[in-house]
């Protein structure tokens, strides 16, 4: 019975893995098919797919993988346009010292389009959200860098996807992994919080982070008073003394409407902190309808 049970579990996990792979492949094929139809209507003769990025413009292994999948799927769509081989595209980008990410300005788009001989560029962003990752792909006119079409979809955040998503790459040296710039990244209340710094100066600890509202414009509120709390490893509790979102700041409740997919700088400060503090056990930011909790935060003095 034990052997049979083990075999059944093995079959279950194999089927689950196959299902996860099939699900993401189906979503990529669905998105690429729709995009291929739109490209064909505009009668573009040649396109190129650049690395997908996160919202800060950093390339991850997942971004490279999704771009490769899109490139292959668009080739297989058979809509009459050509797709530049991505290995050749990377050589062109490196030789001409151009941007290797999806954040392409008009000047770079025009230059890349001219050198690679493409009519349009496919760029994209990846946004982790709950148990899924939102993929947003755009078609850029290479002569103007204007977005002519866009499409979005979601893939499950499997363990494999998490690993690829967690490996950030240096834009100028694709292929060598490096740690992400943020100390911690959390999702709460439909927003993405990236903790960037935690500094102690003259008895005040200031936490700096980025807040992003993926997919749509949305209002966020934050308490810069005792409703937001800090706990150190010695068991001391501190109430916030000031909070800031963009240029809006105060020592009470503040709010701001965030533009979709645009990271906004924010901070929260705690005064009267002991100079002997050894570390942060918990930072709890009280927002309008939810709380954000960062645990075991490294402290810079």
Mean pLDDT score of the chain = 81
**Which pLDDT belongs to residue 172?**
42
- Give the start-to-end residue ranges of the domains of the chain: 27-178, 184-297
pTM: 0.53
Homologous superfamily (CATH) of 27-178 is: ABC-type transport auxiliary lipoprotein component (3.40.50.10610)
Is the pLDDT higher at 40 or at 176? 40
DSSP for the chain reads -HHHHHHHHHHHHHHHHHHHHHHHHHHHHHHHHHHHHHHHHTT-SEEEEPPPB-TTS-EEHHHHHHHHHHHHHHHHT-SS-EE--HHHHHHHHHHTT---SS---HHHHHHHHHHHT-SEEEEEEEEEETTEEEEEEEEEETTT--EEEEEEEEEE--HHHHHHHH-EE-TTSTT-EE--SSSEEEEETTEEEEEEEEEEETTEEEEEEEEEB-SS-EEEEEE-STTSEEEETTS-EEE--EEEETTEEESSEEEEEEPBT--EEEEEEE-S--TT---EEEEEEEBSS-EEEEEEE--B-
Per-residue pLDDT band for 250 (boundaries 50, 70, 90) equals: very high
pLDDT at 102 over 60: no
Say which CATH class 184-297 falls into.
mainly beta
pLDDT at 18 over 90: no
Q: What is the mean pLDDT of residues 215-220?
A: 88
Q: What is the mean pLDDT of residues 231-239?
A: 92
Is the pLDDT higher at 16 or at 77? 77
**Which pLDDT belongs to residue 290?**
94
pLDDT digits (tens, 9 = 90+) for 23-59: 778 888 888 888 888 888 888 889 999 888 887 777 7
**Which pLDDT belongs to residue 17?**
43
**Which pLDDT belongs to residue 116?**
85
């Amino acid at each position: 019975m034990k052997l049979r049970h083990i075999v059944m579990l093995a079959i279950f996990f194999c089927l689950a893995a196959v299902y996860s792979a099939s699900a993401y492949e189906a979503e990529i094929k669905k998105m690429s098919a729709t995009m291929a139809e739109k490209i064909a209507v505009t009668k573009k003769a040649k396109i190129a797919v650049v690395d997908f990025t996160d919202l800060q413009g950093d390339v991850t292994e997942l971004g490279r993988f999704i771009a490769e999948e899109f490139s292959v799927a668009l080739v297989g769509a058979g809509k009459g346009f050509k797709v530049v081989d991505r290995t050749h595209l990377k050589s062109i980008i490196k030789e001409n010292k151009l941007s290797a990410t999806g954040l392409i300005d008009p000047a770079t788009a025009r230059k890349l389009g001219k050198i690679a001989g493409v009519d349009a560029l496919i760029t994209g962003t990846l946004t982790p959200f709950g148990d899924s990752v939102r993929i947003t792909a755009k078609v850029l006119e290479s002569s103007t860098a204007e977005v002519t079409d866009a499409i979005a979809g979601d893939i499950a955040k499997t363990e494999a996807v998490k690993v690829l998503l967690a490996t950030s790459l240096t834009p100028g040296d694709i292929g060598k992994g490096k740690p992400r710039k943020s100390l911690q990244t959390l999702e709460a209340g439909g927003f993405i919080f990236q903790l960037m710094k935690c500094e102690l100066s003259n008895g005040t600890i200031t936490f700096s982070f980025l807040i992003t509202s993926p997919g749509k414009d949305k209002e966020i509120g934050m308490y810069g008073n005792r409703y937001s709390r800090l706990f150190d490893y010695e068991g001391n509790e501190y109430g916030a003394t000031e909070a800031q979102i963009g240029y809006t700041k105060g020592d009470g409740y503040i709010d701001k409407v965030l533009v979709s997919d645009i990271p906004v700088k924010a901070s929260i400060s705690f005064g009267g902190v002991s100079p002997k503090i050894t570390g942060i056990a918990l930072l709890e930011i009280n927002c309008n309808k939810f709380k954000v909790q960062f645990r075991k935060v490294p402290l810079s003095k």
